[in-house]
Amino acid sequence: MASLLSWFSSFSPSPQASDSEPSIEHQRSLLYKQIVQEGNQHYISAHLAELVTNSGNAWPPKATHAESWPPALRPYNVVYQRIAPFLPVRESSLDDAENRRLINKTRALMVALLEEEVSIPDVCETLEDCSRNESELMPMSGWLGFYSCVASLRHAYRWGILPVVREAQNEKTLQFPRELNVPWPYIQSRVGITSPGGSLSSNSYYNLDDRREIVYSITSGMGEDHNRTELWNGLLFVEVEDKALPMYRHIAQAALHLENEDFPSTISTLRTANEELKVAFKHFYDNMNDYNLVPSLWLPYCQGFQGWTLDGINGVSGGQNILIRTLDSFLGIRPWPTEKEESLHLPLAQRNWLNSLRKFDIRALAQEKGNEEVIKQLEHMVTQLRLWRMGHMRRMQRYQVHRPERNKMTAGKSVVKDDSVQVSNDDAMVDHLKEMLSVRLRETK
């Protein structure tokens, strides 16, 4: 812990921008343009440019919602907003029969609303047209927003009630309404994912509007603490990506410089990337606190909804965030996910970016070139990642609270082996969390 505190204390915030300096939005716009313009310099830079252009011409992604969709698709937004207030309850029942009744009631209401609002022939025709004429009928940002909406509806149907209860967890398979199945292959094809459910991208990156407020809420009608916890559950990932984008550009440039054996530029660029990484990690820890993310509310009202556990498919995991996967890929930290596993939840442009970093393998190349200062800067980045994993493991333990209405489950790894709900502590859940994070920690060396 002392090393973690020492690392944070070494961070000096930048002075506040003066009135004469460009606005944050203007700076972002300039950065996006720089990244796209540099796309022809190197294949890593090309895939970073692809990441931006396929994410609504922004990073973190910029999704647009119902107003940007063709009329036939807008009823999906209507249905979600009408069903949202029926999802959360203040007190969970421990009676399985009562929970089954509530789940069935919510699903029946969803079916009725979908049948009332959605015209399947019009949806099919529209999605065919959009697939043939992507930019004209619906921009990529619109596809991302539509993905978020339909994924939210599918998760809402899958669970039926929030907090998640074991009566739904015990389901091994589930037949979804036709209105939710018809658009899904179009979304999978356009975005480049294979999962039948949502992802960190659909449920967090794409689920915010221009004001960075949630579009498809799962705590509608609940208290301020619930709403704030839900917001920060996604916003934290988004804002960290915002801080990390300059680093992505610099690691792409560092690869080009090292390939050209321009060691002074490589060292300078990596040094800058390390400082930018420190900014991103500090923002994460500053905002992952008990006010933004209330420990007693996070698991029942946020994490549970992100799960899936149908047909052997897992749900949304914080491990799907691009910053940590970028660092693992850039620094050659294995094991990497298989292509099949990663394609479940990560859009194609995100996977292409990660795979370009893995292909380059900068640490191996640095060792081959033999420049000690380049190696030192890369090892400094490894150290930062190791410290983050240590701190994250400690922080997350307090969020694994006991919930008697559900089996122990992580959204990204399904039901934990010990699924007893008769115990009053969370040892099994905490041990499971430690196991997942420790595997990555051991590999960060």
Pick the last residue of a domain from 195, 225, 255: 225
Based on the fold, state whether residues 39 and 164 are members of the same structural domain.
no
Q: Is 117 helix (H, G, I), strand (E, B) or coil?
A: helix
Based on the fold, state whether residues 249 and 354 are members of the same structural domain.
yes
Instruction: Count the Cβ atoms, other than its own, within 10 Å of residue 382.
Output: 16
CA 100 vs CA 163, 165, 300: distances in Å: 13, 9, 18
Based on the fold, state whether residues 84 and 212 are members of the same structural domain.
yes
Based on the fold, state whether residues 95 and 216 are members of the same structural domain.
yes
Q: What pLDDT does 435 receive? A: 52
The verdict on residue 302 lying in a domain is: no
Based on the fold, state whether residues 135 and 194 are members of the same structural domain.
yes
Pick the last residue of a domain from 225, 254, 282: 225
Based on the fold, state whether residues 372 and 261 are members of the same structural domain.
yes
Residue 270: both structure tokens together = 């990596």
Q: Which positions make up the binding site?
A: 392
Based on the fold, state whether residues 182 and 276 are members of the same structural domain.
no
pLDDT for 243-257, tens place per residue?
999 999 999 999 999
pLDDT for 315-359, tens place per residue?
998 889 999 999 999 999 998 999 999 999 999 999 999 999 999
The verdict on residue 313 lying in a domain is: no
Q: What domain count does the chain have? A: 2
Residue 432 has pLDDT above 80, yes or no: no
Q: Is 341 helix (H, G, I), strand (E, B) or coil?
A: helix
Alpha-carbon gap, residue 247 to 357, rounded angstroms: 13
Based on the fold, state whether residues 248 and 374 are members of the same structural domain.
yes
Based on the fold, state whether residues 107 and 199 are members of the same structural domain.
yes
Mean pLDDT of the chain: 89
Residue 221 has pLDDT above 50, yes or no: yes
Based on the fold, state whether residues 281 and 136 are members of the same structural domain.
no
Q: What pLDDT does 239 receive? A: 97
Residue 252: both structure tokens together = 């792409």
Residue 415 has pLDDT above 80, yes or no: no
The verdict on residue 309 lying in a domain is: no
SS3 content of the chain, % helix, strand, coil (to 5): 65, 0, 30
Query: What is the number of alpha carbons within 13 Å of residue 376 lying toward its C-beta?
Result: 7
Residue 4 has pLDDT above 90, yes or no: no
Based on the fold, state whether residues 198 and 334 are members of the same structural domain.
no
Query: Residue 186 is which amino acid?
Result: Y
Please, which pLDDT band fits residue 419 given cuts at 50, 70 and 90?
very low
Residue-by-residue DSSP string for 190-250: III---SS--HIIIIITSB-TTS-BSS-SSTTS-HHHHHHHHHHHHHHHHHHHHHHHHHHH
DSSP state of 49: H
Alpha-carbon gap, residue 303 to 392, rounded angstroms: 16
Query: What element of type H or E holds 410?
Result: strand 409-410
Based on the fold, state whether residues 366 and 423 are members of the same structural domain.
yes
- How far does the chain reach from its first CA to its final CA, in angstroms? 18
Alpha-carbon gap, residue 81 to 290, rounded angstroms: 28
Domain of residue 427, residue span: 2-8+25-55+244-293+321-443
Q: What is the CATH number of the domain that holds 29?
A: 1.20.58
CA 275 vs CA 9, 48, 281: distances in Å: 13, 20, 10
The verdict on residue 15 lying in a domain is: no
Q: What pLDDT does 110 receive? A: 98
The verdict on residue 84 lying in a domain is: yes
Query: 56's torsion region: left (phi>0), alpha (psi -120 to 50) or beta?
Result: left
The verdict on residue 18 lying in a domain is: no
Residues shown for the chain: 445
Alpha-carbon gap, residue 61 to 201, rounded angstroms: 8
Q: What pLDDT does 418 receive? A: 46
- Candidates 121, 113, 119; CA nearest to 79 is 113
The verdict on residue 390 lying in a domain is: yes
Query: What element of type H or E holds 414?
Result: strand 414-415
Q: Which positions make up the binding site for heme b?
A: 392
- Is the pTM for the entire model greater than 0.85? yes
Could you tell me if 349 and 51 are in contact, meaning their C-beta atoms sit under 8 angstroms apart?
Answer: yes
